[in-house]
Amino acid sequence: MLEVCDLRRHFVVRHNPLARFRHPDHLIRAIDGVSFTVAAGEVLGIIGESGSGKTTLARTVLRLCEPTAGSVRYRGRDVFALSAPDLKQYRREVQPVFQDADSTLDPRQHVGAILEEPLLIHRLGNTTERHSRIAAMLEQVNLSPSFMERHPSELSGGQRQRVAMARSLLLNPEMLIADEPTSGLDPLVATQVLALMLRLKREHGLSLVLISHDLATVAYASDRIAVMYRGRVVELAGGDSFSEQAAHPYTRFLLGIEARLPDFPLLEGVHEHTHEADQGCSYVLACPHHLHRCHHAIPTLRETSPGHFTACHGVG
């Protein structure tokens, strides 16, 4: 249903002229050649630490930012070449659920108005129809229709995230792209929100791209899992065999199977990309097994066991 092919998004960070002598402009390869597909009804989990490019990937797929290179196809059509009406339809079928619903729900509006907005934009139903559709959707996310009168500030974090989910589902989408939908919530609430999301996904027959920095969240929910490290997918495998067959040293680090070396630091969240990391494996400096060629050749995803893809020179 969704095909992402060799997608890249680079940012140029310019320093002010006085600082440039010591800090030359540099390029951040936020996503650097990412490919994957999502089938109808599938949950694809994307896991990676902070700064690995997950949000940039989600925003690019949603066409909220333009790619530097590569393509995204939805139902066979190039997302970046859609005409305005087709883009509107794409935005209806592929809905985001963002992290931290506080900042995406307008605090001045009550929940009823927040939920009515997408229906108004897409001119769906008259006032009574919209009202009953919103009430029904609130019940689906386990909130009573009385929540329509409340403001986001009167809700708990879990309730806000459920309102955000209701908003995403109101337009009957085909696919949700959820970027850290449960981070910032208490563990118990996070589990409930995730379980609700999976139930709604099943009931509505949706596909789901579930992005998280938390392996447990992704492992629990996903049919397949993609592991991102510094802008690249380093491993992609089925959720059931994922932990037993993990082959990439970074995935094995995430699973607590092996250690990693102290890598070069992230400066204020910005990667000081070294020449080496741009030419070779993104994990080379942290990898306890790195080989000579890991510094010079970017490993591509190869099928290292049936249905299991690993981007590592050291995996046979």
Ligand X SMILES: Nc1ncnc2c1ncn2[C@@H]1O[C@H](COP(=O)(O)OP(=O)(O)O)[C@@H](O)[C@H]1O
Residues in touch with ligand X (CB under 6 A):
11, 13, 28, 30, 48, 50-56, 269-271
From Mg ion, ligand X, none, which one binds at residue 269 (CB under 5 to 8 Å depending on kind)? Answer: ligand X
Residue bearing tokens 């139930």 = 199
Q: Which is nearer to Mg ion, 119 or 228 (CB)?
A: 228
**Which residues lie below 8 Å from residue 155, measured CB to CB, with a gap of 6+?**
111, 147, 163
Please tell me the distance from the alpha carbon of residue 32 to that of residue 231, in angstroms, as a whole number.
Answer: 5
Q: Name the residue with the smallest CB distance to Mg ion.
A: 55
Please tell me the distance from the alpha carbon of residue 112 to that of residue 120, in angstroms, as a whole number.
Answer: 12
- Asked if residues 7 and 60 have their Cβ atoms less than 8 Å apart, the reply is yes
From Mg ion, ligand X, none, which one binds at residue 4 (CB under 5 to 8 Å depending on kind)? Answer: none
Question: Of 251, 205, 255, which is closest to residue 226 (Cα–Cα)?
Answer: 251
Q: Which is nearer to ligand X, 51 or 118 (CB)?
A: 51
- Asked if residues 278 and 29 have their Cβ atoms less than 8 Å apart, the reply is yes
DSSP β-bridge partners for residue 73: 3, 78
Q: Which is nearer to Mg ion, 54 or 167 (CB)?
A: 54
Q: According to CB under 5 A, which residues from 24 to 83 bind Mg ion? A: 54-55
Kind and range of the H or E element at 198?
helix 187-204
Please tell me the distance from the alpha carbon of residue 216 to that of residue 166, in angstroms, as a whole number.
Answer: 24
Q: Which is nearer to Mg ion, 115 or 208 (CB)?
A: 208
Q: Which is nearer to ligand X, 56 or 310 (CB)?
A: 56
Nearest distance from residue 52's CB to Mg ion, in Å?
8
From Mg ion, ligand X, none, which one binds at residue 52 (CB under 5 to 8 Å depending on kind)? Answer: ligand X
Q: Which is nearer to Mg ion, 2 or 30 (CB)?
A: 30
From ligand X, Mg ion, none, which one binds at residue 11 (CB under 5 to 8 Å depending on kind)? Answer: ligand X
Q: DSSP secondary-structure letter at 280?
A: S
From Mg ion, ligand X, none, which one binds at residue 53 (CB under 5 to 8 Å depending on kind)? Answer: ligand X
Nearest distance from residue 54's CB to ligand X, in Å?
3
Nearest distance from residue 84's CB to Mg ion, in Å?
28
Radius of gyration of the chain (CA): 21
CA dihedral defined by 202, 55, 120, 137, rounded to 10 degrees?
A: 30
Nearest distance from residue 17's CB to ligand X, in Å?
19
Nearest distance from residue 228's CB to ligand X, in Å?
7
Please tell me the distance from the alpha carbon of residue 217 to that of residue 209, in angstroms, as a whole number.
Answer: 12
Nearest distance from residue 111's CB to ligand X, in Å?
27
Q: Which is nearer to ligand X, 57 or 170 (CB)?
A: 57
237 SS3 class:
strand
Nearest distance from residue 308's CB to Mg ion, in Å?
26
Please tell me the distance from the alpha carbon of residue 28 to that of residue 10, in angstroms, as a whole number.
Answer: 5
Residues that bind Mg ion (CB under 5 A): 54-55
